[in-house]
Structure 1
Amino acid sequence: GESPSSALKNPPVRRNAPPRSRVLSMGGAKHTLARPLLHHSNPPWPPPRAPLAGRRCHLSRTPLRPNLTWEGTRPRAPGAPASSRSKALLGRLALALKAQRVGEAWAAFDALRASGALLPSQALVAGLITASSYSSGARLLPRAYGLALALWRRRPDLLHYDSLARLALTLARAQMAEPAATVLRIMLECGKLPPPPLWSSAISHLARTPAGSHLASAILIELCECFLRCPASSKRSKMTKPDTTLFNLVLDSCLRFGSPLKAQQVIDLMPKVGVVADASSIVAIARVYEMNGHRDDLRRLKPPVDSASSVLLDRHYQQFYDCLLSLHLKFNDIEAAGGLVLDLYRRRSESGTKRAVGKPCMVQVGSGNLKTGCKMLVEPTLLRHDFVVEPECHSGLIVFTNGRLVLSHKAVAKLVDGYIRHGKVRELSELLVSIHKVVGTLVEASLSTDVIVACVELGWLQTAHDILDDMESAGDAAPEAMYALLLMAYCKRNLLGEAKVLLRQMREGGLLVNLSDEKAISLCLSGELPVNRNVFHGTNLVGGSCLAEFLDKEAGEDESGVHLTYEFNSSIFFFCKARMMDDAMKTFRRMQERKVQATVQTFSHLINGYSSLEMYREITILWGEVKRRLEVGILPADRDLLECLLWNFIRGGYFERVMEIVCYMENCDMHADKWKFKREFLKLHKHLYRNLSISNARTDAQSKRLEHVKALRKWVGIDRVKGSN
């Protein structure tokens, strides 16, 4: 009935108690088992008697007596004697594990610790963690996790990679993202590396939730950093090199949960690590480039993709061409968009012939004129069975029908609207004629007829007339029904002068040669003009074709500022990669002068550029720009951007700015990877103000800085347990 506080003041006398000098201590302070044995960046784990969410997990089934100690500062000497009770408990633990009685094993382990004896061997500890990981008991998995954390902090020599790997995989399967990520990071830091396939297995489960995806990408980046630090011929290098499947899993999860900035970091690591980009990688990379506006990088992937052959690959690369066409249109590059469309129709015409099989080749990642650029090996025909991206068209511009890639009505509408806005009707006509010649069938002539019908239904009669004239001049005259349709539209709008000009052209082509102008106009108004209407089969001339509806919608949207945003961002990105920050900021100011709204990508490019030069003060100025836009709601709150700012401010020592971002992220209920920030803080500012209090500050500025440092240490978890840092 004695309370824990009274037990601490008056510890009971025990026989065979270990000497007081053997009590675990750190920083001159003694620690009992009532205190947590490890402080880490993740939130405290819940107790085993409660539901798994929201409570602290102890290392034993019942709360440990506060007057008992754990002698775990160093391993037992080979010849060190053990008490008979300790031997009995060790034997009981071994037998319970052998019989798979996990509850009895934990009871023996708790009794062993309560007796003050040395810890079990590595094999027994590994067996206990493994058995708890595979047990059906809901309370045992968090206990195994807590034990692994404590041992990592105090006795990492007792941890084994196999038991940690099983624990991490089980936690990931149970969707315990932070505990699973913590165990994976422990393995990475301790050098207890599992077989390479485990990384993919664990991350495949982690990447199913937004928080898990965020942690999975961070772990992959840390894994790549570890690999790049190792000698190429070392065993550690072979164990830490991530494979293509691992990159594909992380890229796909970043795309699903809207983290294009994090995905870009992952892509930049692929050529450095030497990973081969397969067909799935290429599609994922294309989607990331499309979201970030990196059109030049995406263009470099087109030649190897064009060389890939087969119906399966055509269907797979639907997303690639969709992303590339979308970027051409966003950059307002209508000529490039038209060229891509023509290439797609040529690809269709060659589908029945033997095409060159795509071979592995090197593709430049980043600008070839910059030292920061590097080359990545791509295999466009390599479509792995262990990971396949589901073909789906995100922009809805390219569709896969009857074994071929075709333009959707949305894509045709954007293309036609772009040509008309630029006053390039002749170029539009040339494109339609070229497509007709490439395909060479009457069925494919429906593209040109659909365009003419849509223009007529929207009242763009002069545009339709120009297309008819251009096609006739190119020797590829449109069907006679198109002329009749335009003639009827002229007559209904009482544009008789234009109608007579069109009638003259029709007679020169051998149409309506026996009818006078008045008779032809009369028949048009009555709907009895004698023309061949078979070409209208499947087209709704009365209610308007589907293309006309899309074209009307496109014409009503004002996207004049979109292409300016992409063009400015592209220039800023180039200057930042080249570390030409003065030019980048001049471009940013021009962007502001022209009232073009900066995006998340704009600030990401600028922050990364300044970060590469360690110009953290300039980043604080950018944070002011970002904060103002966040407050008025013209910039979306992006976790990757905020974490990038947070990381740079920790490196630069701007702790007040750090806590501003921390408060904002907490208010927005954003998950923050505290492990990463804790590691960065300890690497650069481990002993900063560690033993000072606010009363030691001489000025108000020092007092505030000390307060912010203390708040940061508490947030990442360094000061949660006294002496644990």
Structure 2
Amino acid sequence: MHTLIIIIAQIHEINGQRDDLKKFKCHIDQVSIQLACHYWQFYDSLLSLHFKFNDIDGAAGLVLDMCRCWDSLSIQKDRNDPHKTCLVPIESYYLKEGLKLQIVPELLQKDSVFKMDSKQELLLFRNGKYVLSNKALAKLIIAYKRDGRIGELSRLMLSLQKELGTLEGGLISDVIDACIQLGWLETAHDILDDMELAGAPASSITYMSLLTAYYKGKMVREAKALLKQMRKAGLIVDLSDEMVMTTCLSGVVDKNRMHTRTSTSIWKSGLAESLVREMKKQEKAILPVVYKFNSSIYFFCKAKMIDDALRIYGRMQEMKIEPTVQTFINLVYGYSCLNMYREITILWGDIKSSRKSGSLVVCRDLYEFLVLNFLRGGYFERVMEVIGCMKEQNMYCDKWMYKREFLKFHKDLYRNLKASNTRTEAQSKRLEYVEAFRTWAGID
């Protein structure tokens, strides 16, 4: 069962369907600690979607839930029947008799022939607990810093550090050191202050790193303020300000006069590098507002409220926000559910325009979805046009599937009609494309 849930989670992640994935969370949270290691990919996908939607509160809440839920008494109380069946709706809430998926999270498919890719992106599983990767930490730091919410970042890091049982050094020291390396000295100092107020001060090594950065940056006023803090905390004894500055700039630390402590971090090094990589990625990433628009369009299309979906699509155009492949897949899906195939031909015009402008790279899934719908609607000129685009991009065309779809809806279409017997130019043109498709698909 866990394999199925992971596959569903990854599909929802790819399609940006966060609300659908969240339906599973309360059931996965019930899994015993012994089986938690099998579901880290589910939480990885959900956390990824929170970041894509720029929902930093949702991401932080999920991270804390993952760290705490396995030891929570309330969770344990609810686990009277570990093999209890759960029903998760997979269609719109507006449908009274919508389809539901029956899952049993505690049931593991030990003999599954499908082996899941266990690539670790945002989460690691260590010593029976979920741990954030450097990539996830970097995303959190960037988001909180961008929004000017350093105090909340500090509280989150302190909570995580407490859950890991490393009150001194550790995670927060790594975060501060990374900020110092990137020149975010004000941010580093703010986190240091927050740690002091919380009664969990950083190691003297971390203080010295920031002090050295201040001296090297000729930030004398900030250096004096930090030095005063260090003296008050008893981290520096019997050294004048000048001697401390000389020591910092020389890189030689007198351990007898500066009470240094060894970092107990369980995090691997490289957080600063992860921060740099994530900032570069975010410059090219899809804007969070696009995911929100796509989510709204998908919601309305799933509920067969196509007019509302089109209003959202129109708003995207008004705001000059480029639609993505997922935008068009959602709209094609909405039209298809209502058998509005003519409208899909109009949407195909928008897709071609976006593709021509270079703002859209059409994937095989969208092309295939279009072909199937054009076949059902009998728009064979559009069918051959899309197939032509797929050929240009060396994409695989599933002739067998297209052939089956054609025979299902148009088995005897124009079978005995010859071009000389057509009544109108439109009929003649349509016959031409039907015959072209028959020849291409190998239909006698």
TM-score using structure 1 length: 0.56
Aligned equivalents of 2:177, 2:97: Cα separation in 1: 51
Measure, in 2, the Cα distance between the counterparts of 1:686 and 1:528. Answer: 85
Matched, 1:386 2:111: yes
Contact 1:481 1:531 in 2 (8 A): no
3-state SS, counterpart of residue 484 of structure 1? helix
Change (3 A) 1:419 1:692: same
Matched, 1:701 2:423: no
Residue in 1 that maps onto 2:205: 481
- Residues 40-65 of structure 1, C-alpha deviation per residue, up to 9 Å, x if partnerless? xxxxxxxxxxxxxxxxxxxxxxxxxx
Match of 2:26 in 1: 303
Q: 1:448 aligns with which of 149, 165, 172?
A: 172
Counterparts of 1:648-667 in structure 2, within 5 Å, are: 648-667=373-392
The 3 A distance-change label for structure 1 pair 524 and 671 is closer
- Shift of the alpha carbon at 1:691? 2.0
User: Partner of 1:606 in structure 2?
Assistant: 331
Could you tell me whether the CA contact under 8 Å between 1:449 and 1:482 is conserved in 2? yes
User: Is 1:511–2:238 an aligned residue pair?
Assistant: no
Structure 2 counterpart SS, 1:385: coil
TM-aligned CA deviation for residue 630 of structure 1:
3.9
The one-letter code of the counterpart of 1:603 is F
Q: Give the CA deviation at 1:705.
A: 1.5
**Does the C-alpha gap of structure 1 residues 512 and 328 become closer, same or farther in structure 2, counting only changes over 3 Å?**
same
Give the CA deviation at 1:340.
1.7
Does residue 41 of structure 2 align to residue 319 of structure 1?
Answer: yes
- Post-superposition Cα deviations, 1:120-162, rounded to whole Å, max 9, x if no partner, equal xxxxxxxxxxxxxxxxxxxxxxxxxxxxxxxxxxxxxxxxxxx
1:346 aligns with 2:68: yes
Contact 2:336 2:373 in 1 (8 A): yes
1:583 paired residue among 296, 308, 320: 308
Give the Å deviation of 1:285. Answer: 0.6
Residue-by-residue CA offset, 1:469-491 (whole Å, 9 max, x unaligned): 11222222222332222122212
Equivalent in the alignment of 2:181: 457
Q: Aligned partners of 2:170, 2:136: CA distance in 1, in Å?
A: 15
Cα distance in 2, alignment partners of residues 303 and 538 from structure 1: 31
Secondary structure of 1:550 counterpart:
helix
Shift of 1:538: 7.8
Contact map agreement 1:307 1:358 (CA 8 A) in 2: no
After superposition, the Cα gap between the structure-2 partners of 1:359 and 1:534, relative to the gap in structure 1 and judged at 3 Å, is farther
What SS is found at the alignment partner of 2:416? coil
Separation (CA, whole Å) in 2 of partners of 1:375 and 1:391: 24
Matches of 2:357 and 2:97, distance apart in 1: 36
Which residue, 54, 57, 67 being the options, matches 1:332? 54
Shift of 1:383: 0.7
- Change in Cα spacing, 1:389 to 1:662, as seen in structure 2 (3 Å) is closer
Contact 2:161 2:170 in 1 (8 A): no
Q: 1:633 to 1:417 in 2, by over 3 A?
A: same
Task: Report SS of the residue matched to 2:101.
Answer: strand
Deviations 1:160-184 (CA, angstroms, capped at 9, x unpaired): xxxxxxxxxxxxxxxxxxxxxxxxx
Distance 1:663 1:521 in 2: 70
For residues 177 and 41 of structure 2, what CA distance do their matches in structure 1 show? 29
The amino acid that maps onto 1:647 is L
Indicate conservation of the 8 Å contact 1:393/1:399, yes or no: no
SS, match of residue 307 in structure 1: coil
Matched, 1:416 2:141: yes
Q: Which residue does 2:220 correspond to in 1?
A: 496
1:299 to 1:559, Cα distance in 2 relative to 1, 3 A: farther
Offset of residue 579 of structure 1: 2.0
Per the TM alignment, residue 708 of structure 1 is displaced from its structure 2 partner at its CA by: 1.6
Q: Partner of 1:660: helix, strand, or coil?
A: helix
SS in structure 1 at match of 2:323: coil
Name the aligned partner's letter for residue 280 of structure 1: T
Aligned length: 436
Q: Distance in 1 between matches of 2:249 and 2:398?
A: 72
Q: Aligned residue for 1:644? A: 369
Residue in structure 2 matched with residue 100 of structure 1 by the alignment? none
SS in structure 2 at match of 1:362: strand
Q: Give the distance between the partners of 2:263 and 2:199, measured in 1 at CA.
A: 22
In terms of Rg, which structure is larger? 1
Query: Following superposition of structure 1 onto structure 2, how do residues 179-578 of structure 1 map, counting pairs within 5 Å?
Result: 278-311=1-34, 313-347=35-69, 356=79, 357=82, 359-371=84-96, 373-387=98-112, 390=115, 392-394=117-119, 396-442=121-167, 445-512=169-236, 514-526=238-250, 527-528=252-253, 530-536=257-263, 545-557=269-281, 558-559=283-284, 561-578=286-303
Take 1:599 and 1:699, find their aligned partners in 2: how far apart are those partners? 39
In 2, Cα distance between equivalents of 1:686 and 1:436? 66
Using the TM superposition, give the Cα deviation of residue 603 of structure 1 relative to its aligned residue in structure 2, in angstroms.
1.0
- 1:607-686 map, 5 Å: 607-631=332-356, 634-686=359-411
TM-score with structure 2 setting the length = 0.88
Cα shift at 1:452: 0.7
Residues 493 and 427 (structure 1 numbering): CA distance in 2 closer, same or farther, change over 3 Å? same
Deviations 1:300-353 (A, max 9, x none): 211221221244x333212112111111111111111112222232257679x9
The residue type paired with residue 262 of structure 2 is V
CA distance in 1, matches of 2:147, 2:233: 30
| SS at 1:598 equivalent | coil
Alpha-carbon displacement from aligned partner over 1:73-98 (angstroms, at most 9, x marks no partner): xxxxxxxxxxxxxxxxxxxxxxxxxx
Provide structure 2 residue ranges, at least 5 long, that are not aligned to the other structure: none
Q: CA deviation at 1:648?
A: 1.7
Contact 1:579 1:609 in 2 (8 A): yes
